[in-house]
Amino acid sequence: MKEDLDYIYEFVNEKIKIERREKDYNIFKAENDVFDRKTMLALYDLLSHEYFDIIEFPIKIGKEANIFRAKKGRRFLAVKIYRTSTRDFNSIIKYIEGDYRFEHFKRSTLGIVYLWAQKEFRNLSDCYQAGVLVPKPVVFRNNIVVMEYLGTSKYPAPLLKDYPVQEKFYELILNNMLRMVNEAGLVHGDLSEYNIVVHKEKPYIIDVSQAMPVKHPNARSLLERDVKNIVRFFKKKGIDADENDFYDKINWGVFV
């Protein structure tokens, strides 16, 4: 078994060698904890199934997850790896309890992290199928979610907050939020200019792990917060945004 594990480590390490060659070795070293044993096993599984060939470099080192760019042939993918340690579970458990899609879950640390990744994948799939602009989901394993990479070969897509605002973005985001609620039956719950990226001149909604079904008792207030954030952002940029642009078109009948 130990030999198997040595083999797996060696195999996976080979595939993240570009990152190790990076000048910014310290980033990798400091955040090395994301590559724990179980994560290595999950990566091994994904690599063996040829979902991607190599992990290139971190796009973003976050508190809860690290996002890496991976490569499959000539295509890029985004690989989000949730940390299995040092996270505040109380802040996420409220987004799991009461979600009828995940009634039975293990209350262990790992069980919650795995469910969180699964939930992000499920939310991405539901949004994608409803035609919401989100990264196309590819697969999930344990604490890892693989999705479409948004950006160019040089740079990941910039956040909305860092991009010159266009009036059409407001309408596109409005339509995507309405689609998310009316068609996918979900509210994002953490929507702002920090969780929208601009890819090919269109705003894409990301980071959907905490999104909740509209049937959840908190859904209405989560939606109101999202709407406030978006309207505030566009108003600040001089665009004629109004909360009623949303509220007039929301199918309130689906909420409890």
Ligand X SMILES: Nc1ncnc2c1ncn2[C@@H]1O[C@H](COP(=O)(O)OP(=O)(O)OP(=O)(O)O)[C@@H](O)[C@H]1O
Sign of dihedral through CA atoms 92, 97, 103, 109?
Answer: positive
Among 99, 193, 207, 245, binds Mg ion (CB under 5 A): 207
59 binds, among Mg ion, ligand X, none (CB under 5 to 8 A by kind): ligand X
Complex with ligand X: residue 12 or 197, whichever CB lies closer: 197
Site string for ligand X, 46-65 (x = CB under 6 A): -------------xx-xxxx
Q: How far is the CB of 55 from ligand X (least distance, A)?
A: 14
60 binds, among ligand X, Mg ion, none (CB under 5 to 8 A by kind): ligand X
219 binds, among ligand X, Mg ion, none (CB under 5 to 8 A by kind): none
Catalytic residues: 190, 207
How many C-beta atoms lie closer than 10 Å to residue 162's C-beta?
Answer: 10
Residues 153-172, interacting with ligand X (CB under 6 A):
156-157, 159
Please provide the DSSP assignment of the chain as one string.
Answer: -HHHHHHHHHHHHHHTHHHHHSS-HHHHHHTGGGS-HHHHHHHHHHHHTTS-SEEEEEEEE-SSEEEEEEEETTEEEEEEEE-SSS--HHHHHTTTTT-GGG-S---SHHHHHHHHHHHHHHHHHHHHHTT---PPEEEEETTEEEEE--B-SSSBPPBGGGS---HHHHHHHHHHHHHHHHTT-EE-SS-STTSEEEETTEEEE---TT-EETTSTTHHHHHHHHHHHHHHHHHHTT----HHHHHTTS-GGG--
Site string for ligand X, 111-150 (x = CB under 6 A): ------------------------x-----------xxxx
CA pair distance 78, 76, nearest whole angstrom: 7
Q: How far is the CB of 148 from ligand X (least distance, A)?
A: 6
135 binds, among Mg ion, ligand X, none (CB under 5 to 8 A by kind): ligand X
* Under rule CB under 6 A, residue 151 binds ligand X: yes
Q: How far is the CB of 199 from ligand X (least distance, A)?
A: 8
Interface with Mg ion by CB under 5 A: which range of 66-74, 76-84, 193-201, 241-249? 193-201
157 binds, among ligand X, Mg ion, none (CB under 5 to 8 A by kind): ligand X
Complex with ligand X: residue 36 or 190, whichever CB lies closer: 190
Residues 220-239, interacting with ligand X (CB under 6 A):
none
Complex with ligand X: residue 191 or 241, whichever CB lies closer: 191
CA pair distance 236, 94, nearest whole angstrom: 31
Among 96, 127, 206, 241, binds ligand X (CB under 6 A): 206
- Dihedral (C-alpha) 18, 158, 138, 11: value to the nearest 10 degrees? 10
Residues in contact with Mg ion by CB under 5 A are 195, 207
